[in-house]
Amino acid sequence: MTEISLFPFTDYWWFYGGFTLFVLGMLALDLGVFHREAHGVSTREALTWSVVWTSLALGFAGLLYAYGLWKFPLDPRLSDILGAADGTLAWQTTLEFLTGFVIEKTLALDNIFVFVIIFQYFAIAPIYQHRILFFGILGALAFRVVFIALGAVLLQYKAVVIIFGVVLIATGAKILLAPAKPIDPEANFAIRLLRRIIPVTSELDGQNLFRRIAGKWHGTPLLVALVFIEVSDIIFAVDSVPAIFAITKEPFIVFTSNVFAILGMRALYSLLAGVVHRFRLLKYALGVILMFVGVKMAWLNEAFGGKFPVTWSLAIIAGILASCLLLSLAHARRRPSEVPE
């Protein structure tokens, strides 16, 4: 049976454009109004923004379901794949969005560890961290568009799907088995290249990325931290984008679930940065989830007639994450005096 795209770009280009403008508007409101003056983000503020971004994602899921109920049964191209009853595709599409959102949120937790280390290494004060994360996430959104476009083309080929599945399995196994290595930003190729292109000062200049010294522009530690964050996200996207394509073949769903998850990363970082060391078992959840998604991509989808049930995927991923988070908190309560790594 020929696979039909529910949201072809030629028909939905207007939505991509409108959605992008909405995201840019929200980001402009965030930085230009609520965070116009540099300040440390309080727990209450971080929690509020986390609720806002999550509510927007859930609201979008509800609108997606309502749109699916209206649109899909009326489209004659879908008559051969509608299933037993009206609303089947609407429900499946909504679950795919929610599963992609949960996967991206889960994998983003690993990035929070990296953010904590970067800000500590470059001695970035909390009042400037939000600005760096803002530009970092703006860059992340741009890179995701590129990765998703490439994924939509490459993952049409079965051999490529299997290769990416094997890569995800290997990545998950490495997370589970390989010993943790300390992150050294100075050893990063992009950081070394940046220092060759522009001189970098060790002194901050407020929230500025550049500073003029003796008539010559220098990068500040904020610029170096931003570059490292962008490079980390590119590496992160190599796993996260194929992981969501394992759940759905719709670039529309991959794009929107990615964007909503990324938009909440700054608030999630501010909320968890101080307690992230308590989630010691999180890496095992990330490793197992990546391995599951890799197996799903390389074998399970084919074994289940082309589509492993999305309800099972969502339940498995949520169960793995919840179990590791609860076990981490229980472990932290038993050993409260341990020094964070």
Q: Which residues are 200's β-sheet partners?
A: 219
The whole-number pLDDT of residue 85 equals: 44
Mean pLDDT for all residues in the chain: 82
- The yes-or-no verdict on residue 4 having pLDDT over 80 is no
Q: Provide the domain limits for residue 259.
A: 27-334
Structure tokens at 22: 């909405």
The dihedrals phi and psi of 169, each to the nearest 5 degrees, come to -60, -45
73: exposed, middle or buried (C-beta count within 10 Å: 0-12, 13-18, 19+)?
Answer: middle
Identify the helix (H) or strand (E) that includes residue 210. strand 210-213
Q: What angle do CA 49, 55, 60 make, to 5 degrees?
A: 130
Better pLDDT: 259 or 6: 259
| Residues 73/276, Cβ–Cβ less than 8 Å | no
Structure tokens at 187: 């050893």
The dihedrals phi and psi of 35, each to the nearest 5 degrees, come to -130, 40
Share of the chain above pLDDT 90, in %: 18
- The yes-or-no verdict on residue 22 having pLDDT over 50 is yes
Residue 276 in any domain: the answer is yes
| Residues 150/323, Cβ–Cβ less than 8 Å | no
Share of the chain above pLDDT 70, in %: 87
| CB-side neighbour CA atoms (13 Å) of 50 | 16
In whole angstroms, what is the distance from residue 53 CA to residue 259 CA?
10
- The yes-or-no verdict on residue 68 having pLDDT over 90 is no
Task: Name the domain count of the chain.
Answer: 1
The whole-number pLDDT of residue 74 equals: 55
Which amino acid, one-letter code, is at 15?
F
- The yes-or-no verdict on residue 90 having pLDDT over 60 is yes
The whole-number pLDDT of residue 113 equals: 77
Residue 179 in any domain: the answer is yes
Residue 196 in any domain: the answer is yes
Residue 3 in any domain: the answer is no
Q: Collapsing DSSP states into helix, strand and coil, what is residue 111? A: helix
With cut-offs at 50, 70 and 90, classify the pLDDT of residue 99. Answer: very high
The whole-number pLDDT of residue 257 equals: 94
Residue 20 in any domain: the answer is no
Q: Which residues are 18's β-sheet partners?
A: none
Per-residue model confidence as pLDDT tens digits over 260-293:
998 888 888 888 776 666 777 788 888 899 999 9
Residue 339 in any domain: the answer is no
Instruction: Give exposure, 205-239, as e/b (b: 16+ Cβ within 10 Å).
Output: eeeebebeeeeeebbbbbbbbbbbbbbbbeebbeb
Q: Which residues are 217's β-sheet partners?
A: 212
The dihedrals phi and psi of 200, each to the nearest 5 degrees, come to -120, 130
In whole angstroms, what is the distance from residue 161 CA to residue 157 CA?
6
Per-residue model confidence as pLDDT tens digits over 100-137:
999 988 888 777 878 888 888 888 888 888 888 888 88
Residue 15 in any domain: the answer is no
The dihedrals phi and psi of 293, each to the nearest 5 degrees, come to -65, -40
Per-residue model confidence as pLDDT tens digits over 206-241:
888 888 888 888 888 889 888 888 888 888 888 888
| Residues 154/146, Cβ–Cβ less than 8 Å | no
The whole-number pLDDT of residue 3 equals: 58
Q: Which residues are 218's β-sheet partners?
A: 211
Residue 13 in any domain: the answer is no
